[in-house]
Amino acid sequence: MRALHFMKIDYMLTRKQMYFMPVFFVLAWVMGTGVSEGAMSLLVVCSYTLFVASIFSTAPFGYCVGKNRGFLLLLPATVKERVAGRFLYGLSFVGLLGVLCGILWGVYAMLGYELPLWTVALGLCELAVGILLMALEFLFFYLFGEGKENWQHLSNIVRIAPGMAMFFSMCYFVEEIDGIQGTMAVSMGIDPKVFAGKFMQVGVTAIVAALLLTAVAAAVCARVIEKRDYA
Amino acid sequence: MELLEVKNLSKHYKSFDLKNISFALPKGYIMGYVGANGSGKTTTLNLITGMLKCTEGEVYIDGLSCGEDMRAYKEKIGYVGDESYFPEHYKIRHIRSVLKDFYPTFSTDRFNGFIRKWKLPEKKPVKDFSRGMKVMLMFASVLARDTKLLVLDEATNGLDPVMRTEVLKLLQEYVMDGEKSVIFSTHILSDLENIADYIYFIHGGRTVLYDAKDELIENFLLVKGESAKIPPALKRELIGVEENAYGFEAVLPSDKAELLGNAFLFEKPTIDQIVIHYIKSREEQ
């Protein structure tokens, strides 16, 4: 329960950035439709949205430096609860933007766009990568920079670079992917529909694996922070 | 009955050691924790609040240590620092909401009462508060719930005299029921003169003096006179001799008063004077 309260603290800390999320989402849609169309544009929208999520999910670390950390440290809770709260914030933030992408997917389906199953699976894989990026960034922030005030440049690189790589890769390969998946199905001698089903399994497995790795990262962070001063 | 027990508390840093700090503070009393900058006051208070981990030693609040039950331990503490620890973008409603979530004894009515009484601005973020407002907000946040121990780390520094008087009055009201205590570090030793029952004086991470305030004042004399007239036997016993154009000033343990003879003036010192002369003597060593 206290972990949820810590999550709430982080949402209150970063409340101003939440107002900009719809703007980023519209921007993502504009970029997606600019690069491609239909299901393929949705993949670009997802990658941009998750790029944004990977940047903004780490925002609470920036608010809790120096004297401001005292507030969290004095609250009657364990280190595990505090770290779990921060990870829940990150996970729910990425998840929330993932849900927005899902809704857009639904809107496209209702408008009659053809949305092959394998693109949905690829969207799930993108979400898994988004979750994983968030977990790795949190791991980095907790292990190397929690509470530090003078490492702005490095922290910006850590926040931006991985998500940016994911986004630009998707923009670059978006037109190739369709052909690649068809070629792969043919070369493996599998019916494209069956292949898409297998791909869907990979997508779900990727999400589960990302969640498990996030839990491991949270446990590692809690263990390390417990040994520190100002824990 | 002791409310706060500190036993052989030590903290090791590369450039500083806090060594074997031990004291006990009974329920219903106020302790002044004094020392020069860098003497280890904040380190000790941070060890008591559980923000720092001690290298050795133990702290008990009402018989409970941090290791036994961290939540219950922290619920017993109210901390007011020299700077606001609230996130700067928070407004009062955010702070109220967090305190309500985490402290079962938090009273919204009591909190709102303090906010109204001290005219703290509800709509502004904490970063736009004056220093006095920030201190009073910290006090509102700790006095609106049931705590056992107030830990104040130079909380009155930089406050105007009216506000400082208000804070000192609050502290006296806080301990009035005989169930709670206050540990209070400050540079403004006249504040301690007014409200402290015990004084703990620390220098270079080591205990220098620890006693009831009245005992401490009784145990020393402030001596003044001509430097040239100080006999060697007295010189050895004087603490922190400060020479000026008119002679010298130092403190002397009261039990050595017979060494004074008729050549010197002496009077009861203030806490301020005892501390200043002790710091001087330690620095000379």
| Chain B residues near residue A69 by CB distance under 8 angstroms | 85
Residue window 107-146, chain A: list those with CB within 8 Å of chain B.
none
Residue of chain B with shortest Cα separation from A230: B51
Residue of chain A with shortest Cα separation from B76: A76
Give the whole-angstrom CA distance, residue B161 versus residue B159: 6
Answer yes or no: do B52 and A63 touch at CB < 8 A: no
Nearest to A174 by CA among A27, A26, A33: A33
Between A160 and B16, where is the model more confident? B16
Residue window 57-96, chain B: list those with CB within 8 Å of chain A.
70-75, 77, 79, 81, 83-90, 94
Distances, alpha carbon A190 to alpha carbons A182, A193, A195, in Å: 10, 8, 6
Answer yes or no: do B70 and A78 touch at CB < 8 A: yes
What per-residue confidence (pLDDT) applies to B282? 81
Contacts of B268 (CB under 8 A, 6+ apart): B217, B218, B221, B222
Determine which of B101, B126, B135, B147 to mutate to test the interface with A (most A C-beta atoms within 10 Å): B101
The average confidence (pLDDT) of chain A is 82
What per-residue confidence (pLDDT) applies to B255? 86
Residue of chain A with shortest Cα separation from B87: A68
Q: Is the pLDDT of residue A173 over 90?
A: no
| Chain A residues near residue B153 by CB distance under 8 angstroms | none
| Chain A residues near residue B75 by CB distance under 8 angstroms | 76
What per-residue confidence (pLDDT) applies to B197? 92
Answer yes or no: do B101 and A5 touch at CB < 8 A: yes
Answer yes or no: do B86 and A68 touch at CB < 8 A: yes
Write the pLDDT tens digit of every residue in A45-89. 888 888 888 888 888 887 776 666 788 889 999 899 999 999 999
Please check whether residue B21 is in contact with residue B6, taking contact to mean a CB–CB distance below 8 angstroms: yes
Write the pLDDT tens digit of every residue in B149-201. 999 998 888 788 888 888 889 899 999 999 999 999 988 888 888 889 999 99
What per-residue confidence (pLDDT) applies to B187? 80
Is the CB of residue B53 less than 8 Å away from at least one CB of chain A? yes
Give the DSSP letter string of B189-203: HHHHHHH-SEEEEEE
Answer yes or no: do A68 and B75 touch at CB < 8 A: no
What per-residue confidence (pLDDT) applies to A174? 64
Q: And the tokens for A87?
A: 């990870």
Residues of chain B with pLDDT under 70: none
Q: Is the pLDDT of residue A33 over 70?
A: yes
Write the pLDDT tens digit of every residue in A102-113. 888 888 888 888
Contacts of B75 (CB under 8 A, 6+ apart): A76, B103, B104, B105, B145, B147
Buried b (16+ CB within 10 A) or exposed e, B40-68: bbbbbbbbbbbbbebeebebbbbebebee
Q: Is the pLDDT of residue A26 over 60?
A: yes
Write the ipTM.
Answer: 0.84
CA angle B140, B144, B145 (to 5 degrees): 135
Give the whole-angstrom CA distance, residue A87 versus residue A134: 9
CA angle A111, A115, A117 (to 5 degrees): 145
Q: Is the pLDDT of residue A231 over 60?
A: no
Residue B215 has a CB neighbour count (10 Å cut-off) of: 10
Please check whether residue A146 is in contact with residue A227, taking contact to mean a CB–CB distance below 8 angstroms: no
Answer yes or no: do A76 and B103 touch at CB < 8 A: yes
- Residue A148 DSSP SS3: coil
Give the whole-angstrom CA distance, residue A213 versus residue A152: 27
Answer yes or no: do B85 and A230 touch at CB < 8 A: no
CA angle B170, B176, B182 (to 5 degrees): 60
| Chain A residues near residue B94 by CB distance under 8 angstroms | 12
What per-residue confidence (pLDDT) applies to A3? 92
User: Residue B34: what are its φ and ψ, rounded to 5°?
Assistant: -120, 160
Is the CB of residue A71 less than 8 Å away from at least one CB of chain B? yes
